[in-house]
Amino acid sequence: MNLDFKIRLINNFRKFTSSKKNQKTNNSLQKGLIMCAKIKKIKETNKEENKIYLVTEIKDLKPISLSKAELTYVEKQKKDLESNFITVNRFGYWIFIQFLKKNDDIYLTLENCRKDGDKALNTLNNLKFSKIQIENLSWKKDEVICFAEGMALSNYQYLKFKSTNTKKANSLKEILVAAEIVSANEITELNNVVDAIYKCKDLVNEPPASMTAKIFAKEAEKMAKEVGIKIEVLNKTKIEALKMGGLLAVNRGSVDPPTFTIMEWKPAKAVNKNPYVFVGKGVVYDTGGMSLKPSGSMETMKCDMGGAAAVASALYLIAKAKLPVHVIGLMPATDNRPSGNAQVPGDIIRMYSGATVEVLNTDAEGRLILADALHYAKKYKPELVIDIATLTGAAANAIGRYGIVAMGSKYKNYMDDLKTSGWNVFERIVEFPFWEDFDELIKSEIADIKNIGGPVAGAITAGKFLEYFAEYPWIHLDIAGPVFLDKKDSYRGSSATGSGVRLFYDFIKNKSKK
Ligand code: BES
Ligand code: ZN
Ligand code: ZN
Protein backbone atom coordinates (compact mmCIF):
# COMPACT_ATOMS: atom_id res chain seq x y z
CA MET A 1 0.00 0.00 0.00
CA ASN A 2 1.39 3.38 -0.83
CA LEU A 3 2.13 5.44 2.29
CA ASP A 4 0.08 8.43 1.28
CA PHE A 5 -2.94 6.20 0.70
CA LYS A 6 -2.39 4.51 4.04
CA ILE A 7 -2.30 7.84 5.87
CA ARG A 8 -5.48 8.91 4.12
CA LEU A 9 -7.15 5.67 5.16
CA ILE A 10 -6.14 6.20 8.78
CA ASN A 11 -7.34 9.79 8.68
CA ASN A 12 -10.66 8.77 7.22
CA PHE A 13 -11.04 6.13 9.87
CA ARG A 14 -10.36 8.74 12.54
CA LYS A 15 -12.92 11.05 11.03
CA PHE A 16 -15.46 8.26 11.01
CA THR A 17 -14.83 7.09 14.55
CA SER A 18 -14.60 10.57 15.95
CA SER A 19 -17.89 11.62 14.38
CA LYS A 20 -19.55 8.46 15.78
CA LYS A 21 -18.04 9.11 19.15
CA ASN A 22 -19.10 12.71 19.01
CA GLN A 23 -22.69 11.86 18.30
CA LYS A 24 -22.77 9.82 21.44
CA THR A 25 -21.08 12.24 23.79
CA ASN A 26 -22.59 15.32 22.25
CA ASN A 27 -26.05 14.66 23.62
CA SER A 28 -24.84 14.21 27.11
CA LEU A 29 -22.71 17.33 27.38
CA GLN A 30 -23.72 19.63 30.21
CA LYS A 31 -24.60 16.84 32.58
CA GLY A 32 -23.06 18.89 35.37
CA LEU A 33 -26.33 20.79 35.69
CA ILE A 34 -27.88 17.86 37.50
CA MET A 35 -25.74 18.78 40.47
CA CYS A 36 -26.74 22.43 40.34
CA ALA A 37 -28.38 23.23 43.68
CA LYS A 38 -31.28 25.60 43.07
CA ILE A 39 -31.44 28.69 45.19
CA LYS A 40 -34.93 29.73 46.27
CA LYS A 41 -36.28 32.64 48.25
CA ILE A 42 -38.55 31.73 51.15
CA LYS A 43 -40.53 33.99 53.50
CA GLU A 44 -39.54 32.27 56.69
CA THR A 45 -37.76 29.14 57.76
CA ASN A 46 -39.44 26.02 59.04
CA LYS A 47 -38.82 25.70 62.74
CA GLU A 48 -37.80 22.10 63.09
CA GLU A 49 -35.65 21.74 60.03
CA ASN A 50 -31.96 22.15 59.31
CA LYS A 51 -30.87 25.74 58.99
CA ILE A 52 -27.95 28.11 58.95
CA TYR A 53 -28.27 31.37 60.85
CA LEU A 54 -26.19 34.23 59.50
CA VAL A 55 -24.98 36.38 62.36
CA THR A 56 -22.29 38.94 63.12
CA GLU A 57 -22.11 38.89 66.90
CA ILE A 58 -23.42 36.71 69.71
CA LYS A 59 -26.17 39.21 70.48
CA ASP A 60 -27.65 38.64 67.00
CA LEU A 61 -28.73 35.23 68.25
CA LYS A 62 -31.33 36.82 70.54
CA PRO A 63 -34.39 36.25 68.33
CA ILE A 64 -33.76 32.53 68.15
CA SER A 65 -34.52 30.38 71.10
CA LEU A 66 -31.22 28.79 72.02
CA SER A 67 -31.20 27.08 75.37
CA LYS A 68 -28.79 28.37 78.00
CA ALA A 69 -26.55 25.36 77.47
CA GLU A 70 -26.56 25.87 73.71
CA LEU A 71 -25.71 29.53 74.03
CA THR A 72 -22.82 28.78 76.39
CA TYR A 73 -21.57 26.19 73.94
CA VAL A 74 -21.72 28.62 71.01
CA GLU A 75 -19.92 31.32 72.99
CA LYS A 76 -17.22 28.89 74.01
CA GLN A 77 -16.69 27.57 70.50
CA LYS A 78 -16.43 31.08 69.15
CA LYS A 79 -14.08 32.36 71.82
CA ASP A 80 -11.87 29.40 72.55
CA LEU A 81 -11.69 27.78 69.13
CA GLU A 82 -12.14 30.98 67.12
CA SER A 83 -14.61 29.01 65.06
CA ASN A 84 -16.99 31.01 62.88
CA PHE A 85 -19.21 28.06 61.88
CA ILE A 86 -20.76 26.36 64.87
CA THR A 87 -22.92 23.28 64.82
CA VAL A 88 -25.72 22.64 67.29
CA ASN A 89 -27.31 19.20 67.14
CA ARG A 90 -30.99 19.36 68.04
CA PHE A 91 -31.40 15.61 67.62
CA GLY A 92 -33.86 15.54 64.75
CA TYR A 93 -32.44 18.55 62.98
CA TRP A 94 -29.34 20.71 63.03
CA ILE A 95 -28.67 24.36 63.60
CA PHE A 96 -25.55 25.96 62.17
CA ILE A 97 -24.42 29.37 63.23
CA GLN A 98 -22.35 31.19 60.65
CA PHE A 99 -20.52 34.25 61.96
CA LEU A 100 -19.48 36.91 59.45
CA LYS A 101 -15.72 37.15 58.89
CA LYS A 102 -15.42 40.89 58.53
CA ASN A 103 -12.54 42.67 56.89
CA ASP A 104 -11.85 46.41 56.48
CA ASP A 105 -11.87 45.74 52.77
CA ILE A 106 -15.43 45.13 51.58
CA TYR A 107 -14.22 42.93 48.71
CA LEU A 108 -12.36 40.66 51.10
CA THR A 109 -15.41 40.46 53.37
CA LEU A 110 -17.55 39.34 50.44
CA GLU A 111 -14.94 36.83 49.31
CA ASN A 112 -14.89 35.46 52.87
CA CYS A 113 -18.66 34.98 52.58
CA ARG A 114 -18.25 32.96 49.36
CA LYS A 115 -15.49 30.89 50.96
CA ASP A 116 -17.63 30.27 54.03
CA GLY A 117 -20.42 29.20 51.67
CA ASP A 118 -18.05 26.62 50.25
CA LYS A 119 -17.10 25.32 53.70
CA ALA A 120 -20.73 25.13 54.81
CA LEU A 121 -21.62 23.26 51.65
CA ASN A 122 -19.00 20.61 52.35
CA THR A 123 -20.43 20.07 55.82
CA LEU A 124 -23.97 19.78 54.45
CA ASN A 125 -22.99 17.30 51.77
CA ASN A 126 -21.08 15.23 54.30
CA LEU A 127 -24.27 15.06 56.36
CA LYS A 128 -26.16 14.05 53.19
CA PHE A 129 -28.64 16.92 53.38
CA SER A 130 -30.76 17.47 50.31
CA LYS A 131 -31.78 20.98 51.31
CA ILE A 132 -30.82 23.72 53.71
CA GLN A 133 -32.51 26.85 54.95
CA ILE A 134 -30.51 30.01 55.44
CA GLU A 135 -31.93 32.61 57.80
CA ASN A 136 -30.37 36.01 57.85
CA LEU A 137 -30.17 37.64 61.28
CA SER A 138 -27.78 40.51 60.60
CA TRP A 139 -25.87 40.27 57.33
CA LYS A 140 -26.02 42.81 54.54
CA LYS A 141 -27.62 41.93 51.24
CA ASP A 142 -24.41 41.33 49.28
CA GLU A 143 -22.99 39.21 52.06
CA VAL A 144 -26.00 36.88 51.98
CA ILE A 145 -25.87 36.69 48.19
CA CYS A 146 -22.15 35.88 48.18
CA PHE A 147 -22.62 33.19 50.82
CA ALA A 148 -25.31 31.49 48.73
CA GLU A 149 -23.20 31.98 45.61
CA GLY A 150 -20.21 30.28 47.24
CA MET A 151 -22.41 27.35 48.23
CA ALA A 152 -24.03 26.91 44.84
CA LEU A 153 -20.81 27.30 42.84
CA SER A 154 -18.99 24.92 45.11
CA ASN A 155 -21.61 22.23 44.52
CA TYR A 156 -20.41 21.66 40.93
CA GLN A 157 -19.17 18.18 40.05
CA TYR A 158 -18.09 16.69 36.76
CA LEU A 159 -19.47 13.16 37.05
CA LYS A 160 -20.17 12.33 33.43
CA PHE A 161 -17.45 9.70 33.21
CA LYS A 162 -17.94 8.17 36.65
CA SER A 163 -19.55 4.75 36.77
CA THR A 164 -22.41 4.21 39.20
CA ASN A 165 -20.18 2.41 41.69
CA THR A 166 -17.62 5.23 41.85
CA LYS A 167 -20.02 8.14 41.46
CA LYS A 168 -20.46 10.18 44.62
CA ALA A 169 -22.96 12.85 43.73
CA ASN A 170 -23.45 15.69 46.18
CA SER A 171 -26.69 15.41 48.08
CA LEU A 172 -27.59 19.09 48.31
CA LYS A 173 -30.25 20.16 45.83
CA GLU A 174 -31.95 23.19 47.38
CA ILE A 175 -30.67 26.31 49.08
CA LEU A 176 -33.60 28.14 50.65
CA VAL A 177 -32.86 31.74 51.52
CA ALA A 178 -34.93 33.56 54.09
CA ALA A 179 -33.59 37.09 53.89
CA GLU A 180 -35.94 40.01 53.37
CA ILE A 181 -33.25 42.24 51.95
CA VAL A 182 -32.55 39.87 49.06
CA SER A 183 -35.12 40.25 46.27
CA ALA A 184 -36.60 37.50 44.12
CA ASN A 185 -34.86 39.06 41.11
CA GLU A 186 -31.51 38.86 42.82
CA ILE A 187 -32.08 35.18 43.54
CA THR A 188 -32.99 34.60 39.88
CA GLU A 189 -29.84 36.41 38.83
CA LEU A 190 -27.79 34.27 41.19
CA ASN A 191 -29.25 31.08 39.71
CA ASN A 192 -28.43 32.36 36.24
CA VAL A 193 -24.83 33.09 37.20
CA VAL A 194 -24.43 29.62 38.67
CA ASP A 195 -26.00 28.06 35.59
CA ALA A 196 -23.60 29.93 33.27
CA ILE A 197 -20.55 28.96 35.33
CA TYR A 198 -21.66 25.31 35.31
CA LYS A 199 -22.07 25.46 31.53
CA CYS A 200 -18.64 27.00 31.10
CA LYS A 201 -17.04 24.38 33.36
CA ASP A 202 -18.75 21.56 31.47
CA LEU A 203 -17.41 22.88 28.17
CA VAL A 204 -13.85 23.12 29.47
CA ASN A 205 -13.91 19.82 31.35
CA GLU A 206 -15.14 17.88 28.33
CA PRO A 207 -12.29 15.61 27.11
CA PRO A 208 -10.59 16.51 23.83
CA ALA A 209 -12.05 13.56 21.84
CA SER A 210 -15.53 15.00 22.23
CA MET A 211 -14.68 18.69 22.18
CA THR A 212 -13.72 19.44 18.60
CA ALA A 213 -14.11 22.91 17.12
CA LYS A 214 -17.38 21.82 15.52
CA ILE A 215 -18.77 20.44 18.76
CA PHE A 216 -17.81 23.62 20.55
CA ALA A 217 -19.74 25.61 17.95
CA LYS A 218 -22.75 23.27 18.34
CA GLU A 219 -22.76 23.78 22.07
CA ALA A 220 -22.56 27.54 21.60
CA GLU A 221 -25.52 27.27 19.23
CA LYS A 222 -27.56 25.43 21.85
CA MET A 223 -26.79 28.08 24.44
CA ALA A 224 -27.53 30.92 22.01
CA LYS A 225 -30.86 29.41 21.01
CA GLU A 226 -31.98 29.06 24.60
CA VAL A 227 -31.64 32.79 25.30
CA GLY A 228 -32.33 34.38 21.91
CA ILE A 229 -28.79 35.23 20.84
CA LYS A 230 -28.09 35.50 17.11
CA ILE A 231 -25.35 33.08 16.15
CA GLU A 232 -23.38 32.30 13.03
CA VAL A 233 -20.75 29.60 12.67
CA LEU A 234 -18.25 30.05 9.86
CA ASN A 235 -17.09 26.68 8.53
CA LYS A 236 -13.73 25.82 6.99
CA THR A 237 -14.81 26.79 3.46
CA LYS A 238 -15.87 30.23 4.69
CA ILE A 239 -12.73 30.61 6.79
CA GLU A 240 -10.67 29.78 3.70
CA ALA A 241 -12.64 32.19 1.58
CA LEU A 242 -11.95 34.94 4.10
CA LYS A 243 -8.24 33.96 4.13
CA MET A 244 -7.98 33.67 7.89
CA GLY A 245 -4.39 32.54 7.61
CA GLY A 246 -3.69 32.37 11.34
CA LEU A 247 -6.59 30.06 12.15
CA LEU A 248 -5.92 27.94 9.05
CA ALA A 249 -2.20 27.61 9.80
CA VAL A 250 -2.88 26.27 13.30
CA ASN A 251 -5.52 23.94 11.90
CA ARG A 252 -3.20 22.46 9.28
CA GLY A 253 -2.11 19.64 11.56
CA SER A 254 -5.65 18.65 12.44
CA VAL A 255 -8.08 16.14 10.93
CA ASP A 256 -10.96 18.21 12.31
CA PRO A 257 -11.93 21.46 10.56
CA PRO A 258 -11.77 24.82 12.36
CA THR A 259 -14.80 26.95 13.18
CA PHE A 260 -15.29 30.64 13.80
CA THR A 261 -18.33 31.31 15.95
CA ILE A 262 -19.99 34.71 16.10
CA MET A 263 -22.59 35.42 18.77
CA GLU A 264 -24.50 38.68 18.87
CA TRP A 265 -26.72 40.03 21.61
CA LYS A 266 -28.35 43.17 20.30
CA PRO A 267 -31.28 44.26 22.46
CA ALA A 268 -33.68 46.85 21.07
CA LYS A 269 -32.82 49.52 23.64
CA ALA A 270 -29.10 49.07 23.97
CA VAL A 271 -27.32 51.77 25.98
CA ASN A 272 -24.29 51.67 23.67
CA LYS A 273 -24.04 52.85 20.08
CA ASN A 274 -21.02 50.72 19.26
CA PRO A 275 -20.76 47.17 20.53
CA TYR A 276 -18.50 45.65 23.13
CA VAL A 277 -16.74 42.71 21.52
CA PHE A 278 -15.40 39.74 23.45
CA VAL A 279 -12.90 37.49 21.71
CA GLY A 280 -12.13 34.05 23.19
CA LYS A 281 -9.28 31.70 22.37
CA GLY A 282 -10.81 28.38 21.35
CA VAL A 283 -7.90 25.99 21.02
CA VAL A 284 -9.85 22.86 21.86
CA TYR A 285 -6.62 20.99 22.48
CA ASP A 286 -3.06 22.25 22.45
CA THR A 287 -0.36 19.64 21.91
CA GLY A 288 2.01 22.42 20.90
CA GLY A 289 1.90 21.21 17.30
CA MET A 290 5.29 20.40 15.77
CA SER A 291 6.89 22.29 18.68
CA LEU A 292 5.40 19.48 20.73
CA LYS A 293 4.83 20.02 24.44
CA PRO A 294 6.33 17.58 26.94
CA SER A 295 3.56 15.24 28.13
CA GLY A 296 3.37 16.79 31.61
CA SER A 297 2.56 20.22 30.16
CA MET A 298 0.03 18.68 27.78
CA GLU A 299 -2.10 16.95 30.40
CA THR A 300 -4.38 19.91 31.08
CA MET A 301 -4.43 21.38 27.59
CA LYS A 302 -8.13 20.73 27.07
CA CYS A 303 -8.41 23.97 29.04
CA ASP A 304 -7.04 25.89 26.07
CA MET A 305 -10.54 26.79 24.91
CA GLY A 306 -11.32 28.30 28.31
CA GLY A 307 -11.40 31.78 26.77
CA ALA A 308 -13.94 30.79 24.12
CA ALA A 309 -16.03 28.95 26.72
CA ALA A 310 -15.99 32.06 28.91
CA VAL A 311 -17.16 34.26 26.03
CA ALA A 312 -20.01 31.90 25.08
CA SER A 313 -21.10 31.53 28.71
CA ALA A 314 -20.85 35.25 29.45
CA LEU A 315 -22.99 36.11 26.42
CA TYR A 316 -25.47 33.45 27.48
CA LEU A 317 -25.67 35.05 30.92
CA ILE A 318 -25.91 38.60 29.58
CA ALA A 319 -28.75 37.59 27.26
CA LYS A 320 -30.51 35.58 29.93
CA ALA A 321 -30.52 38.67 32.12
CA LYS A 322 -31.66 40.71 29.10
CA LEU A 323 -29.05 43.37 29.82
CA PRO A 324 -29.63 46.34 27.51
CA VAL A 325 -26.11 46.29 26.08
CA HIS A 326 -25.03 45.41 22.56
CA VAL A 327 -22.37 42.68 22.92
CA ILE A 328 -20.66 40.47 20.35
CA GLY A 329 -18.65 37.32 20.98
CA LEU A 330 -16.03 35.96 18.56
CA MET A 331 -14.67 32.46 19.09
CA PRO A 332 -12.09 31.08 16.66
CA ALA A 333 -11.64 27.36 17.34
CA THR A 334 -9.33 24.54 16.32
CA ASP A 335 -7.05 21.99 17.88
CA ASN A 336 -3.27 22.33 17.57
CA ARG A 337 -1.53 19.10 16.59
CA PRO A 338 1.52 17.83 14.78
CA SER A 339 0.97 15.87 11.57
CA GLY A 340 2.44 15.33 8.11
CA ASN A 341 0.84 18.55 7.05
CA ALA A 342 1.20 20.67 10.17
CA GLN A 343 2.87 24.08 10.05
CA VAL A 344 6.50 24.01 11.19
CA PRO A 345 8.87 26.48 12.83
CA GLY A 346 10.24 28.58 10.01
CA ASP A 347 6.97 28.87 8.11
CA ILE A 348 5.74 32.29 7.15
CA ILE A 349 2.00 32.76 7.04
CA ARG A 350 -0.27 35.53 5.80
CA MET A 351 -2.86 36.55 8.31
CA TYR A 352 -6.47 37.65 7.74
CA SER A 353 -5.30 41.27 8.11
CA GLY A 354 -2.76 40.77 5.32
CA ALA A 355 0.22 40.96 7.68
CA THR A 356 2.88 38.26 7.45
CA VAL A 357 4.04 36.27 10.46
CA GLU A 358 7.18 34.22 10.88
CA VAL A 359 6.12 31.20 12.91
CA LEU A 360 9.09 30.17 15.03
CA ASN A 361 7.22 28.13 17.57
CA THR A 362 4.00 26.35 16.71
CA ASP A 363 3.11 26.21 20.41
CA ALA A 364 2.54 29.97 20.30
CA GLU A 365 -0.66 29.23 18.37
CA GLY A 366 -3.25 31.09 20.42
CA ARG A 367 -2.05 34.47 19.23
CA LEU A 368 -2.34 33.31 15.61
CA ILE A 369 -6.02 32.45 15.83
CA LEU A 370 -6.79 35.45 18.05
CA ALA A 371 -5.09 37.84 15.63
CA ASP A 372 -7.53 36.86 12.89
CA ALA A 373 -10.47 37.29 15.26
CA LEU A 374 -9.16 40.68 16.40
CA HIS A 375 -8.94 41.81 12.79
CA TYR A 376 -12.47 40.53 12.22
CA ALA A 377 -13.66 42.60 15.20
CA LYS A 378 -12.64 45.79 13.41
CA LYS A 379 -15.70 45.66 11.18
CA TYR A 380 -18.00 46.32 14.12
CA LYS A 381 -16.33 49.67 14.95
CA PRO A 382 -16.24 48.44 18.53
CA GLU A 383 -16.51 50.63 21.59
CA LEU A 384 -14.06 48.22 23.20
CA VAL A 385 -12.67 44.77 22.45
CA ILE A 386 -11.63 42.45 25.26
CA ASP A 387 -9.92 39.23 24.37
CA ILE A 388 -9.64 36.42 26.88
CA ALA A 389 -7.18 33.59 26.41
CA THR A 390 -5.15 30.86 28.04
CA LEU A 391 -2.27 32.47 26.22
CA THR A 392 1.01 31.97 28.06
CA GLY A 393 2.67 29.87 30.69
CA ALA A 394 4.52 33.08 31.53
CA ALA A 395 1.32 34.70 32.83
CA ALA A 396 0.59 31.65 34.98
CA ASN A 397 4.16 31.63 36.28
CA ALA A 398 4.04 35.32 37.14
CA ILE A 399 0.94 35.37 39.37
CA GLY A 400 -0.22 31.77 39.60
CA ARG A 401 -3.91 31.00 39.91
CA TYR A 402 -4.60 34.10 41.96
CA GLY A 403 -5.60 36.51 39.25
CA ILE A 404 -5.90 37.48 35.62
CA VAL A 405 -3.03 39.14 33.78
CA ALA A 406 -4.14 42.15 31.75
CA MET A 407 -2.72 44.66 29.29
CA GLY A 408 -4.00 46.75 26.44
CA SER A 409 -4.01 50.02 24.59
CA LYS A 410 -6.32 52.99 23.88
CA TYR A 411 -8.67 51.53 26.45
CA LYS A 412 -9.84 54.85 27.98
CA ASN A 413 -11.41 54.26 31.44
CA TYR A 414 -12.29 50.69 30.68
CA MET A 415 -9.29 49.12 32.35
CA ASP A 416 -10.32 50.74 35.65
CA ASP A 417 -13.90 49.54 35.18
CA LEU A 418 -12.69 46.03 34.49
CA LYS A 419 -10.44 46.11 37.55
CA THR A 420 -13.44 47.17 39.65
CA SER A 421 -15.43 44.24 38.25
CA GLY A 422 -12.42 42.07 39.04
CA TRP A 423 -12.74 43.05 42.69
CA ASN A 424 -16.53 42.71 42.67
CA VAL A 425 -16.41 39.07 41.56
CA PHE A 426 -12.96 38.42 42.99
CA GLU A 427 -11.35 37.59 39.69
CA ARG A 428 -8.59 40.05 40.33
CA ILE A 429 -6.97 41.87 37.41
CA VAL A 430 -3.24 42.56 37.40
CA GLU A 431 -2.12 45.00 34.74
CA PHE A 432 1.30 44.34 33.25
CA PRO A 433 3.52 47.02 31.71
CA PHE A 434 2.97 47.41 28.02
CA TRP A 435 5.73 49.82 27.02
CA GLU A 436 6.59 50.44 23.42
CA ASP A 437 10.06 49.06 24.16
CA PHE A 438 8.64 45.54 24.07
CA ASP A 439 7.66 45.99 20.42
CA GLU A 440 11.16 45.25 19.20
CA LEU A 441 11.06 41.76 20.75
CA ILE A 442 8.59 40.51 18.13
CA LYS A 443 10.24 42.15 15.10
CA SER A 444 11.15 39.68 12.36
CA GLU A 445 13.98 39.90 9.85
CA ILE A 446 11.98 38.37 7.05
CA ALA A 447 8.29 38.89 7.87
CA ASP A 448 6.28 41.71 9.45
CA ILE A 449 6.43 40.14 12.91
CA LYS A 450 7.32 36.80 14.51
CA ASN A 451 5.17 34.76 16.86
CA ILE A 452 7.58 34.49 19.78
CA GLY A 453 9.48 37.15 21.66
CA GLY A 454 12.35 35.37 23.35
CA PRO A 455 13.18 34.45 26.90
CA VAL A 456 11.85 37.50 28.78
CA ALA A 457 8.37 38.96 29.32
CA GLY A 458 6.53 36.11 27.57
CA ALA A 459 3.05 37.24 28.61
CA ILE A 460 3.76 40.78 27.41
CA THR A 461 5.27 39.86 24.04
CA ALA A 462 2.22 37.64 23.40
CA GLY A 463 0.10 40.71 24.16
CA LYS A 464 2.28 42.83 21.89
CA PHE A 465 1.67 40.36 19.08
CA LEU A 466 -2.08 40.78 19.54
CA GLU A 467 -1.79 44.55 19.75
CA TYR A 468 -0.44 44.54 16.21
CA PHE A 469 -3.93 43.48 15.05
CA ALA A 470 -6.04 45.55 17.46
CA GLU A 471 -6.80 48.93 15.94
CA TYR A 472 -9.33 50.12 18.51
CA PRO A 473 -9.69 50.41 22.29
CA TRP A 474 -8.58 47.02 23.46
CA ILE A 475 -7.80 44.95 26.55
CA HIS A 476 -6.12 41.55 26.60
CA LEU A 477 -6.74 39.09 29.45
CA ASP A 478 -4.46 36.10 29.98
CA ILE A 479 -6.25 33.49 32.10
CA ALA A 480 -3.65 30.71 31.81
CA GLY A 481 -3.21 30.78 35.62
CA PRO A 482 -6.77 30.70 37.02
CA VAL A 483 -8.68 28.82 34.29
CA PHE A 484 -7.96 25.24 35.32
CA LEU A 485 -6.76 24.06 38.73
CA ASP A 486 -5.02 20.87 39.79
CA LYS A 487 -6.21 21.36 43.38
CA LYS A 488 -9.52 22.63 44.76
CA ASP A 489 -9.60 26.34 45.45
CA SER A 490 -12.62 26.89 47.68
CA TYR A 491 -15.85 27.55 45.71
CA ARG A 492 -13.95 27.69 42.41
CA GLY A 493 -13.37 23.96 42.76
CA SER A 494 -10.74 22.03 40.86
CA SER A 495 -10.33 21.54 37.08
CA ALA A 496 -12.27 24.17 35.13
CA THR A 497 -13.14 27.27 37.17
CA GLY A 498 -15.29 29.27 34.74
CA SER A 499 -12.72 32.06 34.82
CA GLY A 500 -13.92 35.25 33.09
CA VAL A 501 -17.68 34.61 33.04
CA ARG A 502 -18.64 36.45 36.21
CA LEU A 503 -16.10 39.13 35.36
CA PHE A 504 -17.63 39.89 31.94
CA TYR A 505 -21.14 39.76 33.32
CA ASP A 506 -20.36 42.26 36.07
CA PHE A 507 -18.57 44.54 33.61
CA ILE A 508 -21.50 44.60 31.15
CA LYS A 509 -24.06 44.88 33.95
CA ASN A 510 -22.31 48.01 35.17
CA LYS A 511 -22.33 49.41 31.65
CA SER A 512 -26.08 48.78 31.42
CA LYS A 513 -26.64 51.12 34.37
CA LYS A 514 -24.99 54.07 32.66
N1 BES B 1 -1.89 27.17 25.75
C2 BES B 1 -0.58 27.57 26.03
C3 BES B 1 -0.45 28.43 27.29
C4 BES B 1 -0.85 27.81 28.60
C5 BES B 1 0.12 27.33 29.47
C6 BES B 1 -2.17 27.74 28.99
C7 BES B 1 -0.24 26.81 30.69
C8 BES B 1 -2.53 27.21 30.21
C9 BES B 1 -1.57 26.75 31.06
C10 BES B 1 -0.01 28.39 24.87
O11 BES B 1 -0.51 28.10 23.61
C12 BES B 1 1.46 28.14 24.83
O13 BES B 1 1.82 27.02 24.65
N14 BES B 1 2.25 29.18 24.99
C15 BES B 1 3.66 29.06 24.98
C16 BES B 1 4.22 30.23 24.20
C17 BES B 1 5.69 30.12 23.92
C18 BES B 1 5.97 29.01 22.96
C19 BES B 1 6.17 31.44 23.37
C20 BES B 1 4.15 29.08 26.42
O21 BES B 1 3.60 29.82 27.22
O22 BES B 1 5.07 28.34 26.74
ZN1 ZN C 1 0.52 26.47 22.66
ZN1 ZN D 1 -2.45 27.28 23.58
On whether both 393 and 457 belong to a single domain, the answer is yes
For residues 50 and 162, membership in a common domain is answered with yes
Please check whether residue 6 lies inside any domain of the structure: no
Q: Which of 378, 387, 388, 354 is nearest to 242 (CA)?
A: 354
* Residue 216 and residue 147 share a domain: no
pLDDT category at 21 given cuts 50, 70, 90 is: very low
Specify whether the CB–CB gap between 212 and 314 falls below 8 A.
no
- Residue 231: strand pairing partners: 263
Give me the residues paired with residue 431 across strands.
406
Ligand nearest to C-alpha 283: 3
11 lies in some domain = no
In a domain, 31, yes or no: no
Find out whether the beta carbon of 364 lies less than 6 Å from any atom of ligand 1: yes
Mean pLDDT of 140-151: 98
Residue 23 belongs to a domain: no
Give the pLDDT confidence score for residue 211 in this predicted structure. Answer: 98
Q: Which H helix or E strand runs over 178?
A: strand 174-178
Distance 170 CA to ligand 1 centre (A): 34
Q: What is the pLDDT of residue 34?
A: 54
Confidence of residue 514 (pLDDT cuts 50, 70, 90): confident
Q: Which atom of ligand 1 is nearest to the CA of 480?
A: 8
- 16 pLDDT more than 60: no
Asked whether the predicted pLDDT for residue 272 surpasses 70, the reply is yes
Residue 430 has pLDDT above 60, yes or no: yes
pLDDT higher than threshold 70 for residue 35: no
Q: Helices 306-320 and 501-512 sit at what angle, rounded to 10 degrees?
A: 40
Number of domains in the chain: 2
**Which residue from 334, 362, 363 has its CB within 8 A of the most atoms of ligand 1, so it is best to mutate?**
363
Provide the domain limits for residue 119: 38-182
Within a domain: residue 87? yes
Active-site amino acid positions: 293, 367
CB of 261 shorter than 6 A to ligand 1? no
End-to-end CA distance of the chain: 68
Please work out whether the CB of residue 458 comes within 6 Å of at least one atom of ligand 1. yes
Residues 489 and 389 in one domain: yes
CATH number where 67 lies: 3.40.220.10
- 348 Cα: distance to centroid of ligand 2 (angstroms): 17
137 and 167 in one domain?
yes
Query: From ligand 1's centre to the CA of 459, what distance in Å?
Result: 9
Show the beta-strand stretches assigned E in 192-321: 230-234, 259-265, 276-280, 282-286
Q: What's the CA-to-centroid distance between 181 and ligand 3, angstroms?
A: 44
- Supply the pLDDT for residue 82: 87
Domain stops at, among 182, 205, 236: 182
User: Given 149, 182, 215, which residue is the final one in a domain?
Assistant: 182
User: Is any ligand 1 atom within 6 A of the Cβ of residue 395?
Assistant: no
Span 102-124, average pLDDT: 98
Q: Which residue among 155, 182, 209 closes a domain?
A: 182
Count CB-CB contacts under 10 A for residue 484: 24
Rounded CA-CA distance 244/242 in Å is 6
Residue of higher predicted confidence among 506 and 82: 506
Q: Is the CB of 289 under 6 A from ligand 1?
A: no
Per-residue confidence (pLDDT) for residue 13, from 0 to 100:
40
Region 345-371: what's the mean pLDDT? 99
Ligand 1 proximity of 442 Cβ (cutoff 6 Å):
no
Ligand 1: which residue has its CA nearest to atom 14? 392
Q: Is the pLDDT of residue 25 over 50?
A: no
Dihedral of the CA atoms 370, 372, 377, 381 (nearest 10)?
130
Among 33-47, 413-427, 440-454, 463-477, name the one with the lowest average pLDDT.
33-47
Query: Are 170 and 201 in the same domain?
Result: no
pLDDT band at residue 9 under the 50/70/90 scheme: very low
Whether residue 53 is found in the same domain as residue 140: yes
Mean per-residue pLDDT, 111-131 = 98
Ligand 1 in reach of 480 Cβ (< 6 A): yes
Residues 197 and 178 in one domain: no
Are 378 and 501 members of one domain? yes
Is residue 439 situated within a structural domain?
yes
Residues 208, 336: Cα–Cα separation, whole Å: 11
- Spatial distance between the Cα atoms of 19 and 25, rounded to a whole number of angstroms: 10
Which of ligand 1's atoms lies nearest the C-alpha of 288?
A: 13
Same domain flag for 451 and 369 = yes
> Are 250 and 137 found together in one domain?
no
Distance, C-alpha 354 to centroid of its chain: 31
In a domain, 12, yes or no: no
pLDDT value for 29: 59
Q: What is the CATH number of the domain that holds 245?
A: 3.40.630.10
Statement to judge: residues 342 and 323 lie in one domain: yes
Q: Average pLDDT of 444-463?
A: 98
- Closest residue to atom 3 of ligand 1, CA basis: 392
Ligand 1 pocket test, pick from 344, 392, 404 with the greatest ligand atom count within 8 Å of Cβ, gives 392
Q: Which residue's CA is minimally distant from atom 22 of ligand 1?
A: 393
Mean pLDDT of the chain: 94
Question: Is residue 324 assigned to a domain?
Answer: yes
